[in-house]
Structure formats: C-alpha cells, structure tokens
Amino acid sequence: MFSTLRSACVALALLAPAAAMAQSAQKPNILYIVADDLGWNDVGFRSKDLSTPTIDQLANDGAVLDQFYVQPMCTPTRAALMTGRYPMRYGLQSFVILPEQTYGIPLDEKLLPQVLKEAGYDTAIIGKWHLGHADTKLWPRQRGFDYQYGALIGEIDYFTHKVHGTTDWYRNNKKLDEPGYVTTLLGKDAVRYIEKHDAKKPMFMYLAFTAPHTPFQAPKEYIDRFKSIPDANRRTYAAMIAAMDDQIAAVLKALDKKGMRNNTIIVFHSDNGGVKSATFAGQIATSGDFPANNGVYREGKGSLYEGGTRAAALVNWPGRIKPGKVDQPMHVVDMMPTLVKQAGASLSGTKPLDGMDVWPTLSQGAPSPRKEIVYNIEMFRGAVRQGDWKLFWRTTLPAKVELYDLAKDPGETKNLAAENQPVVAELQKRIDDLAKQMAPSLFFQATFKSYMGRHVPGPVFPSPNDDAFFSQGD
C-alpha cells in the first residue's frame, strides 16, 4: 500500500512540473480593443463623469498607461499598430482614407496578423479597418486575418451601417444587410467567435469599435441612463461609451466561460484624442458642441498637441501584469514587437521597426526604453519629444515653433522656445532628419489628383488652403 502511494506521489511530482511547463509554453491569447475618438477623461478610471465599470475593472486589475501615444487620427494610428512603423514611412501620415480614395496600407508592409498567423494564431478583426477598401487586395482577409466582420471604412450610421447612402458592412469579404446597432453587433459577433474558437489554439482578436466616433447615435435605453447630463451630444456620447463597455463585459464573460481569460492579454486604448474641432468631426453631419473631454491636455483629434495624441489606455493579463499606473512614455508602434515577443512569434519579413519591446514597462512599470516620441512628420508640420522637451514645428507660412516642458506643463500653455534655442535647434534638426526619410503623403496625392481632375460630389475635405487643418499650433 505504502509503495503504491509512494509511486503515485512520485508520478504526481513528475507530472506537476510537466504541467507547469505546458502551461508556461502555451501562447497567450491577445484581445486588442480600440475605441474610436475616445476622450482622455471619458473613462470611469479617470473621471467619475461617465460610467465604464468593465473598462474600469480592467484598469484596476491591470496597468493604466498614463503616457501612451498614438497618431492624431484614425488611419495613421491603425497603420502604426499593424506595422510597428511610423506611418510617415509609407505615406499614411496625413488625415484618413476617404470613401472615394483608392489607396491603402502598402502591400509590401507585413502586418501584425500575418506575423501572428505564421506563429499558429487564429486571427480575427471584428470592427473597423480603415486601412484600404477600394481594392480587395487591401482588405483584412488579404492582410492576415482569418476572419473579418464590420466596416471597411468606419464612419457609418450606427443603425443603417451606411455612409453617403452606401452600405459599409461586411463579413469575410461579403457585404451584409442586417439590422442592429453597430456596437452591439460587434460585441455579439466577438462573443460568437470566442464560443466557436478552439481553445487549444491561440487567438488574436482585434476588436475595433466605431464608438464613440460621430455621428452621435445610441439606442434610447442607453441614452435614458444619462438623463442627468443636460447637453444632448454629451448625453448620447456617454450612452455610446456605455454600450461599448457593456459589449466588452460580454466578451470578457465569453472568455471566462471558455476558460481563456487567464491566458489572455487585453489591450485597450483610443485611436486618438477626443474630437474638439469640426474639421475632424467626420463626414456625417453633426450639430452642436463636441462632447469629448481630454482633461488637462490641449486640443484633440487631428492636433499634434497632447490632447490629440495621448490616449486613454490600459493593459491587463491576470497574474502577469502588475496592477497600478505606468507613467512612462510608449507609442502604439511598440505594441507589435511587444506582443509578437510574448506570442513567441518571429518578426522575419517585416521592414525595420520603429517600435520596441516595452513588456517590462507594461508588466512591471520598469523605465521605458523609449527616449523619444515622434508625434508625426508631415510636409507642413512635425512634432517630436525627447525626455520632457516637446517641439511642435508648423512649417507653412507663417511658420511657428513651440517648445514645451511636459513635466511642468502637460497642458502646453507656455511656449519656451525663445529662451531655449539650443534645444529648439536640436529638435528641429531631428524633425528635419526624419522628414528626409518621409514617403510622400498618399492622402494629398489622392486629394490633389481628385481636384485636378473633377470635383468629387460630397463633403468638402481639407485642402492646402484649409486654415483649420494647416494652422494647428496657432
């Protein structure tokens, strides 16, 4: 009896480390959630003005990223995430891809889903793409995603799924005509995907909500939750965020039920700051005041000030991410190499990355390896940060140079350029050097070609003479 018991104990002792090794060798699932035009302060873990209990719980149990930078607009940020490279390197640095434009993220760029798919991941995009829609070669299914559901462009009516009368709603390359509120449909589809997923295989899900991008629309039951908010746009905006939070809750519940939650890295952030200017509000008409709250940070979407580029962000992985605030600079380009390393994947075939592995910073709050933030480099403006010094340089006449000490002045209220000329000269040289590496803007090439030929019916988009677009920094 004792010998049998002893044999059983030995067997268990041998099995335990083997099981632990198998668990540690298992590739993590990745759930990457992006909100659209979400203000810095428009989450409950930053302000009690709005209700986001699910996002707040992820923040409380994970790392809140206080210096997480993105590009100032949608397409550039999503391109930076997918490539780990600054959009200026392949022509996506300016504005967004408009419905009538035919370009997209260049086909010679190897994207994050392609890298993860090669490492054995099931890859799914549920939500907004906005990296090329005019040619199927540019679509998600052709760029590494096994499964696709949602909008190819993104700014659509939340109930009809249309923009300018055209439906923008697809599943696996086939246009869909189905009823439902966009945010709810995306959440339900994500749940269905998880329920059907083979948990023995790692999953990468890119859950890209359109909320709370314009137009400001939400189901009545959500709007009624915020009757105490007097402003109609702010009330609906809050409802849109609450609907997104509810769908994230449903997705987390599905992960739990499937036994996947504890081995899932969750990243959440906005694609840019909240909208504060009509120039960047979108193509579907919106009236009234813009409701986003970017806290102490100046301006918002489209701007190279902090309000346009510092995003509400968090990362969560039970037992692997130390809870707390991480007040260290990092950029969305860092997410590709960071996640790829955690996935045990290879970056073979990618072009030289601008991103770097920031896992020790994300998981333990270690000092960031990133000493520089490149906000954006365009033909008419650029901004770069080194240490606490940030230089904004508008090159269109009348040119303007602004220098800020972000440690002392995060709201960018006091221009210190005049009394710090050596710093200005050094950072201007850095911007100019980066500009020499810049590919021509595909947006401006397409826009100029359009107006040189025939006027495109529809909204009037920014041109080189549009003061609101080109005078950022006044």
Partners of 175 in the beta sheet? 170
Q: Are strands 68-69 and 330-331 parallel, antiparallel or unpaired?
A: parallel
Handedness of CA 126, 127, 129, 133 (dihedral sign): positive
Q: What is the total residue count of the chain? A: 474
Q: Is 74 a catalytic residue?
A: yes
Helices (H) and strands (E) in the chain, counts: 13, 18
Supply 460's token pair: 């009037």
Q: Which residue is it, tokens 């018991």?
A: 5
Partners of 266 in the beta sheet? 31, 316
Query: CA dist 18 to 11, 33, 303, 306, Å?
Result: 11, 33, 53, 49
Question: Under a CB-based contact definition with an 8 Å cutoff, are residues 471 and 402 in contact?
Answer: no
Spatial distance between the Cα atoms of 69 and 386, rounded to a whole number of angstroms: 13
Listed in sequence order, the DSSP H helices in 50-171 are 53-61, 74-83, 112-118
Question: Under a CB-based contact definition with an 8 Å cutoff, are residues 143 and 114 in contact?
Answer: yes
When computed from its CA atoms, the radius of gyration of the chain, rounded to whole angstroms, is: 23
Q: What angle, rounded to 10 degrees, do the helices at 74-83 and 335-342 form?
A: 40
Partners of 402 in the beta sheet? 392
Indicate which residue of 9, 74, 133, 455 is catalytic: 74
- Count how many Cα atoms sit within 13 Å of the Cα of residue 305 in the half-sphere of its side chain: 27
- Count how many Cα atoms sit within 13 Å of the Cα of residue 396 in the half-sphere of its side chain: 15
Phi, psi of 3 (to 5 degrees): -65, -35
Q: Is 130 a catalytic residue?
A: yes
Partners of 401 in the beta sheet? 393
DSSP letters, 262-276, are GGEEEEEEESSPPP-
Supply 83's token pair: 């490539």
Spatial distance between the Cα atoms of 163 and 214, rounded to a whole number of angstroms: 12
Among residues 121, 119, 184, the alpha carbon closest in space to that of 150 is found at: 184
Spatial distance between the Cα atoms of 216 and 239, rounded to a whole number of angstroms: 9
Partners of 31 in the beta sheet? 205, 266
Indicate which residue of 130, 161, 269, 331 is catalytic: 130
Residues recognised as catalytic: 74, 130
